[in-house]
């Protein structure tokens, strides 16, 4: 691999959500602030949505690491579960011991008693679901019913939903209007700007141990920004492939050819780059047509 070649301690652009590489980008910081403030206020439902690769799972992991004392967390990374399976998963996450023969009514009663016990101890229970757009309809309704459990002062359980834009589309349906009205706080992650992509690449290289001048120059970063549309996951893929190509060529820095080859080898980035070029050509043709029109009709007039 290219670690020794570029003087790196670890791979800077892996796809695994590693909170050591967390960067205080504006959208990620704002999302964390919304989540922590809403949880402290005891709100029932909180939602964070964003396109594929915009950093939802990284923020989810960051939240798990930074929740203050007094919170009891149940984390479900794959919520493609039936209502019964969802209750089982919650019970297991909360450390409940029960017989395999227990029925759903008994399990629900056990959950309620356990939540009341935790509340009496001053602990707030948070259920965090990643990839929440995968929840079946019946399970979304089961979640809403779970948040009916409350004392006179606060909810016994809070729910944080991380999901793709499809989650918003589903929640806009009339059948989910009750659940939608219970979402007190929500945040929509955006892609990175050019300046943020520049900072992001430099930051990850530095955290990984790089100490030289920029591995990626300004022109190369612009190429990556256009092809990735500012989506962190695509930025990681393009940077990783570019470093592999640079290492293969014995280069000490990444040039435009390395990046162009990485873009060509990445379907989503290649399509985005072609669309950008097509838009640029169309704009240029429109400009030329306008100039030609002005010359012809300007002279005639």
Q: What is the pLDDT of residue 301?
A: 38
Q: What is the pLDDT of residue 300?
A: 38
pTM (two decimals)? 0.86
Two tokens at 53? 């690769």
Q: What is the pLDDT of residue 222?
A: 96
Architecture of the domain spanning 192-292: Orthogonal Bundle (1.10)
Q: What is the pLDDT of residue 292?
A: 44
- Compute the distance between CA of residue 17 and CA of residue 74 in angstroms, rounded to an integer: 19
Q: What is the pLDDT of residue 274?
A: 54
What are the 10-residue block averages of pLDDT along the chain, 301 residues in total?
Answer: 93 94 95 94 92 96 93 94 94 88 89 92 95 96 87 84 97 94 94 97 96 91 96 97 96 95 92 49 44 43 38
Length of the chain equals 301
Q: Give exposure, 97-113, as e/b (b: 16+ Cβ within 10 Å).
A: eeeeeeeeeebbebbee
For tokens 């780059």, name the residue: 273
Delimit the domains of the chain by residue range: 26-188, 192-292
Domains 26-188 and 192-292 share a fold: no
Q: What is the pLDDT of residue 272?
A: 52
- Burial degree of 194 (CB within 10 A; 0-12, 13-18, 19+): middle
Two tokens at 202? 């430099």
Q: What is the pLDDT of residue 99?
A: 79
Q: Determine whether domain 26-188 maps to CATH 3.40.50.300.
A: yes
- Compute the distance between CA of residue 8 and CA of residue 28 in angstroms, rounded to an integer: 26
């Amino acid at each position: 691999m290219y670690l020794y070649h570029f003087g790196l301690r670890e791979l800077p652009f892996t796809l695994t959500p590693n909170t050591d590489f967390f960067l205080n980008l504006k959208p990620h910081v704002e999302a964390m602030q919304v989540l922590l403030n809403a949880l402290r206020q005891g709100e029932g439902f909180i939602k964070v949505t964003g396109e594929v690769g915009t950093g939802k799972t990284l923020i989810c992991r960051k939240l798990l690491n930074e929740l203050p004392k007094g919170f009891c967390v149940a984390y479900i990374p794959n919520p493609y579960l039936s209502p019964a399976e969802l209750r089982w998963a919650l019970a297991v996450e909360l450390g409940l011991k029960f017989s395999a023969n227990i029925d759903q009514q008994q399990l629900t009663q056990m959950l309620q008693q356990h939540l009341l016990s935790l509340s009496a101890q001053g602990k707030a229970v948070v259920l965090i679901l990643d990839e929440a757009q995968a929840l079946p309809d019946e399970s979304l309704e089961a979640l809403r019913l779970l948040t009916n459990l409350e004392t006179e002062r606060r909810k016994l359980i809070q729910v944080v939903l991380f999901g793709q834009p499809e989650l918003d589309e589903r929640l806009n349906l009339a059948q989910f209007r009750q659940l939608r009205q219970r979402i007190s706080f929500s945040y929509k992650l955006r892609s990175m700007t050019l300046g943020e992509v520049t900072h992001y690449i430099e930051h990850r290289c530095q955290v990984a141990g790089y100490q030289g001048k920029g591995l990626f120059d300004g022109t190369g970063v612009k190429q990556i920004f256009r092809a990735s549309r500012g989506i962190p996951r695509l930025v990681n893929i393009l940077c990783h492939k570019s470093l592999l190509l640079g290492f293969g060529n014995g280069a000490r820095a990444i040039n435009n050819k390395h990046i162009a080859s990485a873009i060509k080898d990445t379907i989503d980035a290649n399509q985005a780059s072609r669309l950008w070029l097509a838009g640029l050509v169309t704009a240029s043709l429109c400009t030329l047509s306008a100039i030609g029109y002005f010359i012809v009709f300007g002279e005639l007039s």
